[in-house]
Structure 1
């Protein structure tokens, strides 16, 4: 493949519109969990399938993490979006079923959590289609939202998402408000609910023998989250969380997340919404603006 390095905005989407948040809220909070389970360890490194201790990081999701996260959300009376790879839905159906039963949104996160690669278009499209089929067969869900496994995307994949009825993405890092993608052929693409990397718990709480990195405690994480949220709120944006049950479902990190969410839930000026709710609000505002 020849790479076009000509100077241009690499994301052709127009600027995010300044649609108001519902009920006069000043900002929004989008609580998203990536239920990767073992796919985080085998999707891009299939040789890890024979390393049971390594994959046990991901096994924590089904054994402990998902249930503890659902307990936390129930205690706080909050609804979240769970991005579930198709492989996870097939391997851990019993652990995933309570997510939908509790009224949370289930969204798409690939099939085997493979990083999308523009040089392997057929494989990237298959990841989408197999994931959709698995979520429908095992959990009875046809998702409207998508988060890119390993956080990557490209024009042909965006078009495939739109063609498969996926109406929003939550992967890009280039804004603080939702916006609509522009596809390469000029069609409108999915709505993007952008991500802030500061709220990805994997950065602070995951390490392993094969990918050693420091891990951080409450005194590092909670002040960072509080300050980043405060300024996002002041700017009228959406605070998008990228959380993982195998990280934030661990005892100390569960407590950090509980305290952070409780602080925001106690406020009266933040709209706490699922991805589908943010999408539907955006579409409603977009429709009114077009009239």
Structure 2
């Protein structure tokens, strides 16, 4: 069975620093500029050379700020998904505010790119109690923010009641979950951020990180061949200097396994069309 690999990129140029971390100094803004003006073109060139199609989750603020590079992503045939407006985490929003963010992101993607996204990825991989219900209401086909499985899709639920007195799971929605993992995300391992009194240290063992990622890919190809390997990259992290070679190595290893590179929506289509009772 041919394994499926979905390379995904969270294009959090300036919005991740501003919206999630509250950092708007010139230095942090410049890191967003690097993501948009240097790293993303570098990554797109690599994907074109390798013949790889991918999925990009783009906050509306970054679409509005960097329309030309976002249009290049679209025109190269890559999928574009929703990623908030200013990288706002839904868990800090009430339902009205969460709706507003969804709508602002949808407006930016439509107004600038003419795109109505099928998929959503939450900033910082977290959802509110309202998120999955709202995503289904707004017509999204899938979410890619949760972690109940590693390489296999499943249906999202709504209405879970989670307390120390007991847990009740709510009903499933017609919304597919494409699971992610912090261990397959480059940002926490590769980005340094100084946010007194907190420091986000970057790992210096990039080679060790690469070996772990390759081992995860090997495991899926060998043990879960019907699964989908979803890796999360950020242009400012993976597109800097020699780190672009890490992405290249991941692509080459996937090709050695005979993997099919897919957008997330195409992988969801394949999962939904599988014969009843199949894995």
- Report the CA distance between 1:119 and its aligned residue: 5.3
Query: CA separation in 2, counterparts of 1:164 and 1:70?
Result: 30
Residues 1:275 and 2:264 are matched in the alignment: yes
Are the counterparts in 2 of residues 116 and 124 from structure 1 also a CA contact under 8 Å?
A: yes
Equivalent residue in structure 2 for 1:56, among 10, 30, 52: 30
Residues 1:134 and 2:123 are matched in the alignment: no
Q: Which runs of 4+ in 1 moved over 6 A?
A: none
Are the counterparts in 2 of residues 158 and 189 from structure 1 also a CA contact under 8 Å?
A: no
Which residue number corresponds to residue 234 of structure 1? 222
Equivalent residue in structure 1 for 2:41, among 67, 85, 97: 67
Query: CA separation in 2, counterparts of 1:187 and 1:29?
Result: 26
- Report the CA distance between 1:217 and its aligned residue: 3.9
Give the secondary structure class of the aligned counterpart of 2:242.
helix
Are the counterparts in 2 of residues 35 and 83 from structure 1 also a CA contact under 8 Å?
A: yes
Equivalent positions of 1:33-182 (< 5 A) are 33-46=9-22, 48-49=23-24, 51-117=25-91, 120-176=94-150, 177-182=152-157
**Structure 1 90/119 Cα, relative in aligned 2: closer, same or farther at 3 Å?**
closer
Query: CA separation in 1, counterparts of 2:216 and 2:34?
Result: 29
Are the counterparts in 1 of residues 56 and 80 from structure 2 also a CA contact under 8 Å?
A: yes
Query: CA separation in 1, counterparts of 2:21 and 2:187?
Result: 17
Which residue number corresponds to residue 4 of structure 2? 28
Which residue number corresponds to residue 254 of structure 2? 264
Give TM-score, length-normalised by structure 2.
0.88
| Structure 1 alignment gaps of length 5 or more | 1-23
Residues 1:222 and 2:210 are matched in the alignment: yes
Aligned length: 261
- Report the CA distance between 1:218 and its aligned residue: 3.7
Query: CA separation in 2, counterparts of 1:96 and 1:258?
Result: 22
What are the superposed Cα offsets for residues 179-203 of structure 1, whole Å, 9 maximum, x if unpaired? Answer: 1113337352410110122210112
Which residue number corresponds to residue 197 of structure 1? 182
Are the counterparts in 2 of residues 159 and 189 from structure 1 also a CA contact under 8 Å?
A: no
Give the secondary structure class of the aligned counterpart of 2:91.
coil
- Name the Cα RMSD after superposition: 1.7
Equivalent positions of 1:2-21 (< 5 A) are none
**Structure 1 119/39 Cα, relative in aligned 2: closer, same or farther at 3 Å?**
closer
Residues 1:289 and 2:276 are matched in the alignment: yes
Query: CA separation in 1, counterparts of 2:52 and 2:269?
Result: 18
Are the counterparts in 2 of residues 109 and 147 from structure 1 also a CA contact under 8 Å?
A: yes
Give TM-score, length-normalised by structure 1.
0.85
| Structure 2 alignment gaps of length 5 or more | 160-169
